[in-house]
Structure 1
Amino acid sequence: MESTKTIKELFKEAGYFPDGTAWNDNKVSDYFKGDTFKDYSSHTMRMFYFERGAGASNLHMKFNLPVVPDGSIEVKKELSNTDKEKYANVRFKFKVYAQKSKGNETFEENTYEVLKAAKMADGTAVTFDDDGAFYLKPGQKATFSGLKDHQKYYVEEIGVKSDEYDDIKINEVSYTEYTENENEEGKKVRDIRTSKEVAENRRLVVFTNNCSAANKRELRITKAMQEGQMTDGTFSFRIYLTSTEGELVPYVGPYYLYCVNDRGEDKKETIYYKNDNGTLTALESGEVEVAGDTNSSGEITGIPVGYTISITQILSGTEFKVEEINLNNQEYKVPTITVSGCKDVVTSNNIATGTIELGNDASVLVTNHKNYKVIKVEKQWKDSRKSDGTGEGNPDLEDDLKPQSTFLGLYYRDAVQPEQVKEVDATKQWACEFEIPGNPNLSDYKVREVVKNGENNYNPVNSEEYIKLGNYIYQVTYSDSEKTETTEGVEEKTVSVVNTLQRGSIEITKNNANKEKLGGAEFKITGPDNYEETVTTPSEGENKGVITISDLLPGEYVITETKAPANYNLLANPITVVVGTTEGESASSGFTVVGDSNTHYYYDLKMEITNNKLFDMPAAGGGFRATIFGVGIMIIAGGWYIIRRRRRII
């Protein structure tokens, strides 16, 4: 017959308590907790079974009450106020005392002796010290046999540190302090003793130590990237804690996940997250919940940079191991791991180990570094002016003669298009760095200044070719060092890109009608940026009649003859020429092809000016014939160039 009544209701109906005394509503809590027996109470179950006589009969019973054989007692160790009991590799010291026998199953009333024989739950023998002390870890119990039911005993837990365990209960009743001393570095150490009781009335003794705040510590694992580097990737960890057997085993249990956000003005906000297989969901500000559980291998996945994993309520003395797993070795180097707030720290490759200390939380900072090499590019600007007044050729270019910006491209071997393009300008000190992921051979890469030619299309400017940037044209050269250096674990080399501003010149040859060169002709040349210079053709020597004005910026120049050679007429009108002009017609088929172009820029102009003698001069001031030759640099968008010699007739 099945009954749905509780065991307390059955005893109440019978009118008796489990020990046979009459029921009394005022004493119910002495025997029952809720609807069942009070914790740690002992009971004898008697079953009366009557056979019918003929035929076979069977009795089957199921119950979940722990069984303690007659003459036995059990001592068990538990911890409260922590959920990491199975990872607590700490031992607690005990002694069990029983009344000394006088024979004939009688015992000395006040004389007790230490018991030194017991078995663990798995049947193995308990190991005792010489003085009869034995040790239990959380969750373990020892069974002592051979006691008589009416024989008294008591149990001591020895050396309980008050800063680790701030409350001890024995069978749910707060402890009675036995002794206290200050002999261990000033820390309070207590020996906790049970009352004396006969074995029949107390078969089980459970010592429950409540972990103090100083003894419940936290393991924090924070993911970071090297300063200046960012990634959208996520990372995974495997976490181990020591078991009660002293071996590192995967931690299987809950963890928290949070990120500290900087709100400015010294205000920071900690936001906690739920982690559903790598999908993070932020909780409301101030709300704290467990993010999830590690898997059966102790793994946590999907952790972004800047987030912290927190495992709480770990007892001091617990060893841990944190391992970063599933790291893409092509993208990232071996991480740098920094451990603080604990002892026995060892770091190696992607693993960190340590031991939790009393009163301290352990922090593990795992910093990843992108696995890459670097080509640094230094842009230099030079002036083709022959001297800056110090005698130095190609001096540094003045800032107002530099463009607003230019582009640099990184090419792999003979690739048509660059893998990376960076714009550089004065705000970037005309420098940049190309990060090349993985472990490449840097000699397989080259840097070229490039001209943008449509969307994602660039044309390279090779060494000693020309590029037009803004109003000026520059010749580009490269210095590519084969030597590499290693800085903070990153292999790098430096490439120098030199742009030299191209200046022009005007060469004036003064002739008479017979093509004889004439000295003593004086010319004033004016041009851009208030340029003005007066020159005179030499009257003797191999350069007689020839004068060259050099280091001219591109632009329009006006040449005025201010003094004619003796017996010759002045030019009636000034001559206007343009250094860097694109106008003119070829009078010579000779040219040097550097690229492919349709636009010619003339920078070095040659002029032949012919004057008649005074007696031949017309009334209007005489006639002249000036011929202008141009040695030009030719450029088009795309960075291709051509050098030609041209002639213009005036």
Structure 2
Amino acid sequence: IYYKYTPKPEYGYLYLAKRGATTHDVLLGAEYYVYKNASCTSYANDKNGNHTLRVNSENSPYSNRLTYEPGTYYVRESSKVPKGTRRDTAVYKVTVKAGQSSWVSSKGWNEDIEYGVARIRKTDNTDPSKTVPGATYRIYKDKACTIRAKSELGKNIQLVTTAENSNTVTVAPGTYYIKEYKAAEGYLLSDAVYPITVTRGSTGLVEVTDSPNTGSLKLKKESADPDITADNKSYSLKGAVYGVYGSKADAGKDTNRMAVLTTNEKGETETLELKSGTEGIPYYIKEITPSAGFELCDGTDGSDQGIHTVTVKTGKTAVVTCREPVATGDFPLELQKYDEDTGLAKPQGTAGLEGAVFAIEYWNNNAGNTSGIPDAVWYYRTDKKGHFSIKNMDDFISRYTFGKNQSQTEYAGKTITSSPLKQNEDGNICFYMGTYRVREISPPKLYQLSGTMRMSWESSSKGVPVTEGCVFVMGYNEKTDTVDYKYADKVIQGDNISINAYDQVHLNMLTVTKYGSGRKPLSGVTYKLVRSSDGTEIETRTTGSDGQAVFQGLVPGEYILTEIQTAEGYNLLKEAVTVTLPYQMTEKEILDKGADISKAYFDEASQTFCFETVNYDITDSAHFDMPLTGGNHKTMYLLLTGALGLITAGLFLRRHTNR
């Protein structure tokens, strides 16, 4: 089987593009014919039998497409020209190539009328240097703006503002009226009518202004913990500074601030007028500087890392509420008791460093002012090592009642109650910004409420009385986003605030009076006093003409009194006497024995009455002479083998086996 194959010719394509020569507007209806020869006497039909190129849409300058075999063709405008333009008499030679598109580009020229150009320039009336792009203005022939003006091509004309001026339109010379048809984004639609005069060959320019479409914005700052900050001078809603931004990125970097808002005493800012839109324009608010006692807004109030988004709508006031985190500190206070005489964190004798009570008093000011009644007080007690930590709840006293009036404290007979402790979100104890004073209000066992306290790094010359205490100011440093602790106007460095508190131990006195026959005082009798715990000899004393040997400055503890030399004609005591200083009695013992407590002090730590002056009367028998209430001394007898001792003003006497 044989067949003959005839290949189809390959085609190319031909288009026309035509605009106004001066306006560049689309020339609707422009029509061109395609010819085979340069004299334009023979039409060249395409494969579909068509030889006409026509601009059929006012939105596009391009014509229909004709499909031709490859070759050379000639194009010329027909006699049907668009209104207001002259016929283009040029003949355009064009080569069509297979598989490719070829173009004929032409410009339409106006007829005999020489046109002018209209243009508008629009600026912001709040900032004359700023142009307003995107506003659309229509041009009318009448002042009432009912008859639209036409371009040289007979089309309705309008102007759209740009970043510099606007587009231009070509119109016949004359006076026209311009009115806004569509406002630029963020601006109000103006109903003003502006006249414009266009002359031949010149450009008429109208200068107009417009008012931004505005709404308003204000901010209110609130405390995230009003229970702490209410009526607290260390915290203030006044003075917080916020930046207003046009984008979240700018807010995050604090760049391109549009405005700044500052809070007053109520935490409120002034009202800020901003551009808005029908649907609203978003703005972004971020705190730049916190007010006193507050941390920077960090997003705990639900904002995005402290960035608040608000939409400002025309004619409305948007209110942003910022609930700001309260600055608190853990106040890492540590305190150690010391003996003031030895300088050691070890008690003398049988005294102890346990049981000292300290008050941590708080005033809601950041000026270090401790006058008046504290706004809060917390109480702590030292442990067996004489130490307390503000973080250790075992050292914390929630409620406590002090002993009788003889107690060495201003709180004698009274009950103290600690203020509630605050915990942060991690469950750790934290304290408010403000002024703190740490002072001793009750001494440890057998110590006096007398001594000095100072920071652990200070010299002894810097000590202050323990009853006056150390004063600190805790404040938030917004620059470093940390809590600063100041003492004596110095910022304390380190992880803790360490205080050394020194107390004086109660010293005791032992008086021995030796009597002979007829209770005649004997001189020349010598006694030795030894510390029982380690056998250290304290000193020896010999009675004078009054029969007395006095031992003074004795620290609390157990002692052994031995007669080592007696008067001529008398025998030495066969047994030593064990003496405990001070002589301590419970309240029940005081009541049972009717003891006179006017010469005793009440030791809060041991809950006993302490007699620090002890008298021994030694004859052939020992008399325990207990001072009773009212001074009516009755005698109680304690028999000792070979010796008798009389105790006045309180003595604990027991046998020392020395046989």
- The normalised TM-score by structure 2 is 0.37
- The structure with the greater share of residues assigned to strand is 1
Which has more radius of gyration?
Answer: 2
